[in-house]
Structure 1
Amino acid sequence: MHLQIVLAVVVMALLGPSSPQNLPNCESSCGNVSIPFPFGSYGCNYSRSFLVTCDRSSGMPIPFLGKSESNLVIQSISTSTGEMELLTYVANDCYNSSGARIERKQPSSRFGNFRISTKNRFVAIGCDTHAYISGKRGNETIGSGCITVCDSKNNMSDGSCSGVGCCEISIPKGMRSFNMSLSSYSNHRNITDFNPCSYAFVIQEGKYTFSSKNLLDFESQEQMPMLVDWSIGNEPCDIAIKDTDNFLCKGDSECDQSYTGSGYRCRCLPGYEGNPYIANNCTNIDECARPGHRCLHDCVDRPGNYTCSCPKGFSGDGRENGTGCTANESLIIKISIIAVAVT
């Protein structure tokens, strides 16, 4: 028993503080969603912000960011772009024909150290609708909204969120949380036959197309997909790299100097692929084994790159988009002599 404990301690020491993803009980997926490090379950995640809970209580595995009580369902995680797609709830504000409110949902979401991507839009649907979104950016509270008012569906353009029946605004940069609220000017009186409710949601740009039918049939849409930007810690590359024990960009992985947001991101070196947040997980790409290399003849794989070679008697870079392969002068002379001899 003592020997087993010692061996376990040695293994943990070899794995290091930033390698819990290598433990045998760490799941790499939940349902059909891949869960790459630094994300993971308890003991497999880099820090509390990267906790993923795989909830199987419904019979179907569902990955949640944080605990399942967060209601933030993960759709996908990318280690190459530093983005995560989540499902968040739709806000609504509904009335009956007498103007009495019958339902109201005003969801809010918190993302810890992660930020709401500016690739999202805040969208509101309705004909008696004032939609508002507010949230935190650092210690600052910021907010914005849009209004859409209409008496009928006559002047609406399906496919365009133009302000009639549908309005949208951009998301301020750096928001780490949001609260959505909806209000009405006339409690939807005289329009309940085609629009009893107002709706609002944050959604990834390009993933919603307005239809006038949504004024009546949108109640079944409870969640919409949105993007969240993630990174490691709060320090930029030049400062984070000094913490050698916890810095994640190691081996053939480098800190992404082009990233200008909070914290830092890792990326594999050019010509390598893999998870840049796991030490030694970025491996060389054999471009020669894949279609698309630009060699006219022989392709030679190199660490992080490849070269092309020409047949004997030819010179050049051997590339389609380069100098290609040109016969050497000595070869041309030999060919000419042979041709004369034959004639």
Structure 2
Amino acid sequence: MSSLPARSVIEFSQFDQLRDAREIISCEADALRQMGQNLGIEFCDAIDLILSRKGAVILTGMGKAGLIAQKICATLSSTGTRSHFLHPAEAIHGDLGCLHADDMILALSNSGETEELRRLIPLVQKMYLPLVSITARETSTLGRASQVVLCLGDLKEAGIHQLAPSTTTTAMLAMGDALSLVISKARGFTPLQFATFHPGGSLGRRLTKINEVMRDRKEVRVTRETTSIRESFIQLSRPGRRSGAVIIVNGLDQVTGIFTDSDLARLLEERREGQLDRPISEVMTAEPTTIQSDASLEAAITLLKTRKLSELPVVDQQHQLAGLIDITDVIGWQPQRESTEVNTEAG
């Protein structure tokens, strides 16, 4: 049995590697700039067509173009446009059954002559589904069959041999991102809707509404302005997660101040024990920073970081206390280097 000959390794210095890598990246970047400058009204036609359909956007492509189509499909889905990927080879073996009369097709092929797509085109036409293509030339088989062609132009692949799909797939991905994000803006897609589709991970967590993760009012130590500091700390113990703050409210239950464990420690360090039996309003931090209950957790994290807070009262539209965000509730969602910067309101 013969064995394969060992592959020779060409001497390739780090300087040469970096030079080639930079050339490849520059080649792809230049192609994207050129494509962006040449983009015309056909892009708007594609947007209008997609927005006019009640069904899903069905993406299809073969090989590397198919992989890019799957990524575009995921981006569309996560930004408010229902979409699915249809493998062109599997389509003619039963997967055509996933198509609906209200759907439309978005096909990717640089050459526009991919055999599997050529076999799929007449089947799509029989179903009267509109076809948008991302391809190099309008005169290709795919281009001629399309209602709208998003033309990439004749792009040269990157690299020494200019063979592997690189520049063309990068251009397809950029075109797909442009479609997805412009459509998302046209639909009025909001960050909170984005969070609905991304409930897992730090991204979904940060876009979650505060009222879904805050400590409810019943878990917060709350007192009136006339209560003494000693009474506030003795009488206001709460089960569960302990916060290092007492929230002070007026007769309308509106937040007027905050008093923290750090404030208490400061009084003791300054030997002002006599103040413990005075009204808490005399030493509280008046008009503390608050946040609305319908804001995002990301907004709360930003406030905690920029203003160096440990506790953040959550209020409703009438500025009445709804709950509390404690730094310990969100410390895991901040970069490690930032978490050490957080301090108390009064500190």
Note whether the superposition's TM-score is higher than 0.5. no
For the pair shown, which has the larger CA radius of gyration, 1 or 2?
2
Q: TM-score range by the shorter chain?
A: under 0.3
- Structure with greater helix share of residues: 2
